[in-house]
């Protein structure tokens, strides 16, 4: 092998840097973290590219696949930075990129019949390392149902509705489950979708959507409000595209948000050792035990793992907005009160405060 020429290592004299060069559309088996099953095996479309300085004729394409083989397909926010570092070292590049898009499946029960089916969501990781700085973006595409508020208001019978796709891209300082993003989005649509529905379920979906009309503008704003409350989120890009049922065109909206653009939408409760009675985790444990519920039973209802619930009760983790709403339902409490207890200020209350800040301050004092 040492006697074979290395054409890629030759000097190039055209004085042009290449922004990205590498491999794309490589189908590769990977495993990603699954909230319910720990791991999920899937197949990703992989792109791995590097910057190439002007003095080099080419890069070494085979090394990309060798790096993938070395990690045996495990792709998480924990090990992708190490993969990027390997790309930098082995390909002698200052800037490297890795993009993976893959189907992710969640077992969902229909709203009435409870028939279980697997629902597919399009997920992706977009990772870049420039020198020592790593940028990591999680992406989830969520199909939903929307019903037009205008059509409902002007029609004597029914209203036009359609299937839409919400794409959420986010940066976060903490780990965020795909499931938490999906639940947050589905909770703000006119209705979620399921792969399998029986007739009672179809009735529920139709009527639920009719009771929750959404313009594309409503949905994109609602999704930003709820997803920016997920743990550690610092940046969001949310887009919504509705496949209009009575128009030739589609309806589209997008918002880019980053932390610091608006005033605070949540507050941090005091640490448990300062006032244990104020701790959400301690309160939740008290409520669970008062109803003779095990962690496993409540976790199943909330759509989280028992270990995640244990860490919520110990103050290490938070519940998503969707999980808080399901908690309120299980406890028979007002969802707003439960969210406030968890340290989240719902958007409707923030709007009320904004309408009368002086009155709110007078009441609070």
Residue 92 has pLDDT above 90, yes or no: no
Q: Give pLDDT, residue 2.
A: 64
Q: What is the DSSP letter of 11?
A: B
Rounded CA gap, 205 and 145, in Å? Answer: 9
Residue 362 has pLDDT above 60, yes or no: yes
Domain 13-258 and domain 276-364, same fold? Reply is no
Cβ atoms of residues 186 and 152 within 8 Å: no
Q: Give pLDDT, residue 299.
A: 84
Q: Are strands 161-172 and 38-52 parallel, antiparallel or unpaired?
A: unpaired
Rounded CA gap, 230 and 233, in Å? Answer: 6
Rounded CA gap, 189 and 261, in Å? Answer: 24
- Residue whose C-alpha is closest to residue 124's, from 196, 6, 42, 224: 42
Residue 162 has pLDDT above 80, yes or no: yes
Residue 309 has pLDDT above 60, yes or no: yes
The full set of domain ranges for the chain reads: 13-258, 276-364
pLDDT digits (tens, 9 = 90+) for 15-55: 899 999 999 999 999 999 999 888 999 999 999 999 988 88
Fold adopted by 13-258: Urate Oxidase (3.10.270)
C-alpha atoms less than 13 angstroms from C-alpha of 350 in its C-beta half-sphere? 13
- Residue whose C-alpha is closest to residue 264's, from 197, 192, 353: 353
Of the two residues 171 and 303, the one the predictor is more confident about is 171
Q: Are strands 251-258 and 233-242 parallel, antiparallel or unpaired?
A: antiparallel
Please report where in the chains the tokens 């007078």 appear, as a residue.
362
**Strand-by-strand arrangement of the 18-34 sheet:** 18-34, 38-52, 95-109, 116-130, 133-147, 161-172, 233-242, 251-258
Rounded CA gap, 347 and 336, in Å? Answer: 10
Tokens found for residue 237: 């890009």
* H-type alpha helices, 212-274: 216-227
Q: Give pLDDT, residue 208.
A: 94
- DSSP string over 306-343: HHHHHHHHTTS----HHHHHHHHHHHT--HHHHHHHTT
Quote the distance between the C-alpha of residue 170 and its chain's center: 7
How would residue 1 be classed by pLDDT, with cut points 50, 70 and 90?
low
Q: What is the mean pLDDT of residues 186-197?
A: 96
How would residue 265 be classed by pLDDT, with cut points 50, 70 and 90?
very low
3-state secondary structure of 161: strand
User: Number of H helices and number of E strands within the chain?
Assistant: 13, 8
Q: Give pLDDT, residue 267.
A: 39
* H-type alpha helices, 188-305: 199-211, 216-227, 280-290, 295-302
Quote the distance between the C-alpha of residue 151 and its chain's center: 30
Please report where in the chains the tokens 């028939």 appear, as a residue.
115
Cβ atoms of residues 197 and 257 within 8 Å: no
Rounded CA gap, 281 and 314, in Å? Answer: 6
Q: What is the mean pLDDT of residues 160-188?
A: 94
Rounded CA gap, 315 and 343, in Å? Answer: 12
Pick the CATH number of 276-364 from 3.40.50.300, 1.20.1050.10, 1.10.260.40, 3.10.20.30: 1.10.260.40
- DSSP string over 49-106: EEEE-TTBS---THHHHHHHHHHTTB--TTTHHHHHHHHHHHHT-SEEEEEEEEEEEE
Residue 272 has pLDDT above 60, yes or no: no
Residue 321 has pLDDT above 70, yes or no: yes
């Amino acid at each position: 092998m040492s006697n074979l020429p290395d054409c890629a290592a030759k000097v190039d004299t055209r004085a042009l840097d290449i922004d990205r060069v590498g491999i794309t559309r490589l189908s590769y088996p990977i495993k990603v973290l699954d909230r319910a099953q720990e791991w999920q095996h899937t197949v990703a479309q992989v792109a791995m590219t590097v910057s190439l300085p002007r003095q080099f004729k080419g890069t070494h394409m085979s090394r990309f696949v060798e790096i993938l083989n070395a990690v045996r397909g495990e792709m998480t926010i924990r090990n992708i930075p190490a993969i990027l570092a390997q790309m930098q070292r082995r390909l002698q590049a200052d800037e490297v990129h890795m993009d993976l898009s893959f189907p992710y499946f969640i077992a969902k029960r229909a709203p009435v019949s409870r028939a279980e089916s697997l629902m597919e969501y399009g997920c992706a990781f977009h990772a870049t390392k420039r020198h020592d700085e790593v940028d990591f973006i999680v992406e989830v595409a969520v199909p939903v149902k929307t019903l037009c508020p205008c059509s409902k208001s002007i029609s004597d019978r029914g209203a036009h509705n359609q299937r839409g796709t919400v794409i959420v891209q986010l940066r976060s300082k903490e780990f965020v489950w795909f499931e938490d993003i999906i639940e947050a989005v589905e909770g703000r649509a006119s209705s979620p979708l399921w792969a399998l529905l029986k007739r009672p379920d179809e009735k529920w979906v139709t009527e639920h959507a009719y009771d929750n009309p959404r313009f594309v503008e409503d949905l994109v704003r609602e999704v930003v409000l709820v997803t920016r409350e997920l743990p550690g989120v610092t940046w969001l890009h949310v887009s919504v595209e509705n496949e209009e049922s009575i128009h030739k065109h589609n309806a589209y909206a997008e918002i880019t948000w980053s932390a610091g653009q608006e005033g605070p939408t949540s507050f941090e409760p005091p640490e448990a050792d300062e006032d244990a009675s104020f701790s959400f985790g301690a309160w939740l444990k008290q409520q669970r035990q008062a109803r003779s519920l095990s962690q496993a039973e409540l976790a199943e209802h909330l759509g989280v793992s028992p270990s995640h619930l244990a860490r919520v009760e110990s103050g290490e983790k938070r519940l998503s907005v969707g999980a808080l709403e399901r908690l309120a339902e299980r406890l028979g409490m007002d969802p707003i009160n439960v969210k406030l207890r968890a340290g989240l200020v719902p958007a409707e209350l923030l709007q009320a405060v904004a309408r009368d800040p002086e009155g709110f301050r007078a009441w609070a004092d």
